[in-house]
Structure 1
Amino acid sequence: MGLSGNDRAIAGFAMTGHGLVHWFETSIPIFLVVWLAEFEVSTLLAGLVVALGYAPFGLGALPAGILADRFGAKTLVVACLAGMSASFVILGLSGSLAGVAIGLVCWGAAASIYHPAGLSLISTGVEQRGRVFAWHGMAGNAGIALGPFVAATLMFLGLTWQAAALILAIPGALAALYGLRADFDPTAAVDPDVDAGADEALSLSDLVGNSRVLFASAFALVFVIVTFEGLFYRGMLTFLPEILHGSSVLAGVAPGPSLEGFEPGHYIYVGLLVVGIVGQYVGGRLTDRIRPATGLLAFFAVLAVLALSFVPILSIEAGGTAGLVAVVGLSALFGFFLFAIQPFYQEAVAVYTPPESRGLSYGYTYLGEFGFGAASIAIGGYVLDISTPAFLVTMATFAVIGVALSVGLSVGVDRFLGTGPEQAATTADE
């Protein structure tokens, strides 16, 4: 069965937004290399400046979710696209580290809007959620891969980083203009008797009350599951390039003269992200066939095994192709499953929350994923100083905890908390 016209319109709009969020996000580390040399600052100071942009990306998700319920998801996504483009224009016009900091803070605040608003739009407007969640995830992974590639290529061709930033802002501006003209029903997947559209502004008491209702239901468990997925995801993606770079198995692999300065681990890492596109698609399609709790349980278990599998494989001595093939194969599997799990927690939020609080629900979800999940950068950095195996065991532990929590959701903890799939469906029909 094909998608309806409304489903296709929302899918195209949301996929564009998702791809551009990560297009901007992953271009920033490419610029960081140039900023270190141009501004002659320490890595610590430059890193703190970049952190100013990434922190609001997660912490702003909750207020963004509240705003999505107030003003409507489409309006918020358009504002996100316009804001991200404007932020990169600020970057492109800046000539100091202070200007860079201002641009990055603005970008993080604007980018934080997308996930709660975009996913809320899909959950209330799309009939075939699983398929669109899959395409949506693939678009995000495409942005993850294309952002740094385009930024690096523009500077390789001789453009300054400021010019590259201005060029990168163009697709976001065009997408915002497209969004203003896009025509679709953002609540087509919700029963007409349920209010899932823009609502009156929440008072503090309303916010506390709605939050209390959410966290007195199975969503509380889903939130903790998402947080541990975020801890695993952010920790592994942040430090895996460094782990690959320092591994003995890749020590004897050298690229040709034309690729001087590139590390084999970087190629493997980019390949991992590309494979993640397939993982997102497969995971999204599986949400139409497998219960969210069951899928989360299975994928967390696989991720724990894969994380631990890096320990023996990365210790293989350099000099043979077998070790290289093993690292490439394991990384490809890891990339597939790391991104294949994401549609399952997105679907879990849609299943275990009422439509009228969907924006707030996804706001809390990405506060856990990107906000609390970022704590693994500090945890992982500390443990990685001890040893690589200790780091990988720590990350695997996060996944094992995810398994245990998913078991709880699967066997029916939601019945005791008050809102499971049956209750959510009943709510939507009332």
Structure 2
Amino acid sequence: MDDNDRSIVGFVMVGHAMVHTYELSIPILMTIWLLEFSTTAAMLGVAATVGYGLFGIGALPGGLLVDRFGSRTLISACLAGMGLSFLALSLASGVVGVTIALALWGIAASIYHPAGLTLISNGVEERGRGFAYHGMAGNVGIAGGPLLTAVLLLAFDWRVAAAILAVPALLAAVIGMRIQFDPTAAVEVTDGGRTREIPTSLAEFGSETRRLFTLGFLLVFVVVAFNGLYYRGVLTFLPDLLGDFLTAAVGDVRPGFFDPDSPVAAEFDLSQYLYAALLSVGIGGQYLGGRLTDAIEPDRGLIIMLSLLTVIALLFVPAAQAGLWGLLVISFILGFVLFAMQPLTQATIAKYSRPESRGFSFGYTYLAIFGIGALGAAIVGTTLTYASVSALFVVLASFSALGGLFAVALVTRS
């Protein structure tokens, strides 16, 4: 990579890691809010759905803003907006305040993916390596966000922890506006100097959407939407569920090097570290999913992974109740398979979309996975409040099973 490539890739790696750090810090904080505000999982599920929903819904208008104002400006605005939203979160006095702060985060974060992917596509000559490093940084944020939040909660009140989390994004926003790079350095190299015109009116937008949504792409859209429901539903409340299962398996565990009466010992929650470990295992799943895209047709790979997710959901509660080892094994398998889906999903989207509409298709993908998928938090939260944990995992299994059936229809149609 030359200096321009390194500058761009470094910038988007920071942005991608920050987006997912905040995204996955929210479930950790929710375990505190359940007690802090004496609320229900259903209410917090709705609050999370608002933020996560806007995170997905904003991807399409975010893409149009990128074409109007440029990736650098939009990524910096995204970083600043996320930082300010977490400062607002630190001041929230109840569930309404939390919901407003999460909504602000969702609006700001929704800009990132179309902006970051556009910047890599147009500015990085070694595009493949750029996307690879970009994805790795996102995985670091996915695994590191819960871990960092859990560590901060050992030493600080959750409000102080949220304020501290805001600082890196605000600093990155300032640096992003000052760093030097050419955002279009690779356009002529990779695209023959041609750039694709974007819709400039609602009529053109509708026409482009109709061209994109062939029957094949429509089936892909439905499959990834069900996967998004599963993804958001299981990850949002998993820290709290893991805490219950761990307590049943091994009791209340505190490391021996903590004073039992110290504030640190009082805040220590082993389930938060198990949650971070589960997400770290997902990095290996990403690698396997990427290798599978070279070995089999990606849409057939989706059938395999969705079938595995269905089995995992149905076995999770019996395995977790069997003891500590059962809980650890089923948790790590879940983390591995859940993230192995992602490369297969992206490859399937590319297979069923036209090259000149690839960016547009990925915009709709984020709408499905993060927008429609955000409803998973509300559905799971409501199930957890009014039914049982076993019913919750049956609901998750239904998401993946339905997604798998549509994936079968996709392959059969092909």
> TM-score interval w.r.t. the shorter chain?
0.7 to 0.9
Mapped to 2, the partners of 1:65 and 1:266 lie a distance apart of 34
Matched letter for residue 409 of structure 1: L
Query: Is the contact made by 1:9 and 1:183 (CA closer than 8 Å) also made in structure 2?
Result: no
The CA deviation at 1:19 is 0.8
Say if 2:228 is the partner of 1:230.
Answer: yes
Say if 2:341 is the partner of 1:370.
Answer: no
User: For structure 1, which runs of at least 5 residues remain unmatched after alignment?
Assistant: 317-322, 414-430
- Seen in structure 2, the aligned counterparts of structure 1 residues 295 and 172 have a Cα distance that, compared at 3 Å, is same
Residue 422 of structure 1 corresponds to none
Say if 2:167 is the partner of 1:170.
Answer: yes
The CA deviation at 1:311 is 3.9
Residue 267 of structure 1 corresponds to 273
Residue 181 of structure 2 corresponds to 182
Identity across matched positions, percent: 48
Residue 380 of structure 2 corresponds to 380
Residue 404 of structure 1 corresponds to 405
Mapped to 1, the partners of 2:295 and 2:75 lie a distance apart of 29
Q: Find the partner of 1:312 among 304, 315, 318.
A: 318
- Seen in structure 2, the aligned counterparts of structure 1 residues 285 and 7 have a Cα distance that, compared at 3 Å, is farther
Mapped to 1, the partners of 2:278 and 2:307 lie a distance apart of 19
Specify the SS of the correspondent of 2:252. coil
The 5 A counterparts of 1:79-94 are 79-91=77-89, 94=91
Specify the SS of the correspondent of 2:191. coil
The CA deviation at 1:210 is 1.0
Specify the SS of the correspondent of 1:104. helix
Matched letter for residue 12 of structure 2: A
Residue 261 of structure 2 corresponds to none
Residue 299 of structure 1 corresponds to 305
Query: Is the contact made by 1:130 and 1:347 (CA closer than 8 Å) also made in structure 2?
Result: no
- Seen in structure 2, the aligned counterparts of structure 1 residues 153 and 333 have a Cα distance that, compared at 3 Å, is closer
Q: Find the partner of 1:278 among 276, 284, 287.
A: 284
- Seen in structure 2, the aligned counterparts of structure 1 residues 252 and 86 have a Cα distance that, compared at 3 Å, is closer
What value does the CA root-mean-square deviation take over the aligned residues? 3.5
Per-residue CA deviation, residues 328-357 of structure 1 (Å, 9 max, x unaligned), is 122112101111211222233334334544
Mapped to 1, the partners of 2:321 and 2:159 lie a distance apart of 41
Query: Is the contact made by 1:221 and 1:409 (CA closer than 8 Å) also made in structure 2?
Result: yes
Mapped to 1, the partners of 2:380 and 2:244 lie a distance apart of 16
- Seen in structure 2, the aligned counterparts of structure 1 residues 164 and 379 have a Cα distance that, compared at 3 Å, is closer
The 5 A counterparts of 1:29-428 are 29-31=27-29, 42-43=39-40, 51-91=49-89, 94=91, 96=93, 102-122=100-120, 132-154=130-152, 156-158=154-156, 161=158, 163-180=160-177, 181-184=180-183, 185=185, 187=187, 190-192=190-192, 194-196=194-196, 199=197, 202-216=200-214, 218-247=216-245, 250-256=248-254, 258=258, 259-260=265-266, 262-316=268-322, 323-384=323-384, 385-411=386-412, 413=414
Matched letter for residue 294 of structure 1: R
Matched letter for residue 232 of structure 1: Y
Mapped to 1, the partners of 2:321 and 2:32 lie a distance apart of 33
Matched letter for residue 380 of structure 1: V
The CA deviation at 1:110 is 0.5
Matched letter for residue 295 of structure 1: G
- Seen in structure 2, the aligned counterparts of structure 1 residues 122 and 294 have a Cα distance that, compared at 3 Å, is farther
Matched letter for residue 396 of structure 2: M
- Seen in structure 2, the aligned counterparts of structure 1 residues 133 and 96 have a Cα distance that, compared at 3 Å, is same
Specify the SS of the correspondent of 1:255. coil
Residue 428 of structure 1 corresponds to none
The CA deviation at 1:232 is 1.3
Per-residue CA deviation, residues 299-333 of structure 1 (Å, 9 max, x unaligned), is 222222222221431342xxxxxx32222122112
Query: Is the contact made by 1:133 and 1:284 (CA closer than 8 Å) also made in structure 2?
Result: no
User: For structure 2, which runs of at least 5 residues remain unmatched after alignment?
Assistant: 259-264
- Between Structure 1 and Structure 2, how many residues are aligned? 400
Query: Is the contact made by 1:194 and 1:355 (CA closer than 8 Å) also made in structure 2?
Result: no
- Seen in structure 2, the aligned counterparts of structure 1 residues 53 and 283 have a Cα distance that, compared at 3 Å, is same
Q: What TM-score do you get using the length of structure 1 for normalisation? A: 0.78
Per-residue CA deviation, residues 16-63 of structure 1 (Å, 9 max, x unaligned), is 21110122233345555666777x664576765555433322222222
- Seen in structure 2, the aligned counterparts of structure 1 residues 344 and 103 have a Cα distance that, compared at 3 Å, is same
The CA deviation at 1:129 is 6.4
